[in-house]
Amino acid sequence: MKSTIDKKAEEMSEEDTKKIDLDVKKILLATDGSSPSIEATIYAVGLAKILKADLIAVYVDEQFALLLEEKYEEELFEGVKHSASGLQVAQWYGKKNGIDVKPVLKQGSAPKEIICTAEEEKVDLIVIGTTGRTGLKRIAIGSVAEMVVKAAHVPVMVIK
């Protein structure tokens, strides 16, 4: 019977390792205008600069997915005013660092639209911020970053 315990490192030898070549040509930044998304913007622009990668910034307007009253209550509960202004901030950071940032505005469910955009743009990496909520707030609201990590087909860098 095969063990369900992951012992990958213990089972490897030096011969199993190889030279690493990260070929990241396109990065997707998910932004909602919050402080964590601004931190994610800084990392995404920095990585794009270092890796000479294209940078796409996406904001998902969920107001059409929820009733306006529900959206307002969610923002009060989260303590975050979600805003497409994060796209402008990404472009400002990009401009100051010699990176062109392609802004993308979507409507619908944030996790779903972030994943769809990543697939449409054929990105190699997603960068997203998280508030790091725990307990009741996490259960009540869920975590967009967590849902993206679970559904993405490319690596996801989560910035707290």
Q: Is 3 within a domain? A: no
Q: Is 15 within a domain? A: no
Give pLDDT tens digits for 18-34: 999 889 999 999 999 88
Counting residues of the chain whose pLDDT is more than 70, the rounded percentage is 79
Q: Is 66 within a domain? A: yes
CATH classification at residue 33: 3.40.50.620
Q: Is 78 within a domain? A: yes
Q: Is 1 within a domain? A: no
Give pLDDT tens digits for 129-139: 987 555 544 44
Please check the confidence at residue 114 and state whether its pLDDT lies above 80. yes
- Helix axis angle for 110-121 and 144-151, nearest 10°, is 40
Q: Is 5 within a domain? A: no
Give pLDDT tens digits for 51-101: 999 999 999 988 755 444 555 555 554 545 567 899 999 999 999 999 999
Q: Is 9 within a domain? A: no
Q: Is 48 within a domain? A: yes
Domain range for 99 is 24-159
In the chain, the number of structural domains is 1
